[in-house]
């Protein structure tokens, strides 16, 4: 590839203003948020800002009693920050691909580690599972997003959406490769003894999520590993956990 002049570089990498939405992709890996009031974002995801904005870590009481209790039980949770004021904030998450969705009263479930930002009109609720197999991964979780407004979710590389219906039958996914699913689905944790025996592993492909009903599930071509931290909490959230809801 030929070298660019400085002016060519500045022209091709300058910020875009292609829409009037609060969320706009500057690239597939960087999100611009136009703040005019309040926006929620993943803690630590800010890479640049301008204007009169301030950042506040989500308070315990703001999480709601239900979310707070589930975090206490699981030893983990989705850590958000409030972005308030007027200005522009640029967000990214370890180079992951960002997808902006507009919810129009629907509900979706998202891997807790893959929620990058939401407008203040979107509600979030931590959902946990209650199968013993889930405890092997440290009690991981997912988040239900509902309402009217924009949400930004992340994935490693290009995601794939698989339909779930009576024609396709159940869809089975690796929990660490599962990004999101439609609000009407309730996955079950299943164990494939044959795979476990053949591969000789006690986790991974031997533990799967089973989706049945009407809806869709999004997967990524990457198995995200969540490392155990001291005190028994999991590194960034995930989808396996102990179906408390």
β-strand partners of 160: 219
Maximum separation of any 2 CA atoms in the chain, in Å: 59
Give the end-to-end CA distance of the chain in Å, rounded to a whole number.
53
Ordered by where they begin, the domains of the chain are: 20-224 (3.60.160.10)
pLDDT in tens, the chain (245 residues): 789 999 999 998 998 888 889 999 999 999 999 999 999 999 999 999 999 999 998 655 455 544 444 443 333 456 889 999 999 999 999 999 999 999 999 999 999 889 999 999 999 988 876 553 444 443 457 899 999 999 999 999 999 999 999 998 999 999 889 999 999 999 988 886 665 455 554 444 578 899 999 999 999 999 987 544 333 333 344 444 333 34
3-state secondary structure of 155: strand
């Amino acid at each position: 590839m030929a070298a660019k002049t400085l002016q060519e570089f500045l022209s091709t990498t300058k910020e875009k203003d292609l829409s009037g939405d609060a969320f706009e992709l500057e690239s597939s890996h960087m999100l611009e948020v136009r703040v005019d009031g309040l926006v929620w974002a993943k803690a630590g995801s800010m890479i640049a800002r301008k204007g009169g904005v301030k950042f506040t870590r989500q308070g315990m009481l703001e999480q709601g009693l239900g979310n707070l209790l589930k975090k206490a039980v699981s030893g983990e949770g989705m850590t958000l920050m409030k972005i308030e004021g007027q200005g522009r904030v640029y967000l990214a998450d370890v180079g992951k691909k960002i997808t902006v969705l507009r919810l129009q009263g629907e509900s979706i479930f998202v891997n807790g580690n893959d929620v990058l930002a939401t407008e203040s009109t979107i509600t979030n609720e931590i959902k946990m599972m209650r199968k013993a197999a889930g405890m092997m991964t440290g009690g991981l979780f997912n988040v239900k997003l509902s309402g009217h407004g924009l949400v930004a979710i992340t994935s490693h590389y290009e995601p794939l959406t698989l339909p779930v219906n009576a024609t396709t039958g159940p869809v089975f996914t690796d929990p660490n490769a599962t990004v999101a699913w439609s609000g009407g689905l309730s996955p079950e944790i299943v164990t494939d003894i044959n795979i476990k025996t053949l591969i000789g592993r006690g986790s991974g492909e031997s533990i799967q999520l089973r989706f049945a009903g009407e809806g869709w599930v999004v997967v990524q071509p990457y198995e995200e590993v969540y490392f155990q931290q001291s005190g028994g909490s999991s590194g960034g959230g995930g989808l396996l956990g102990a179906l408390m809801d």
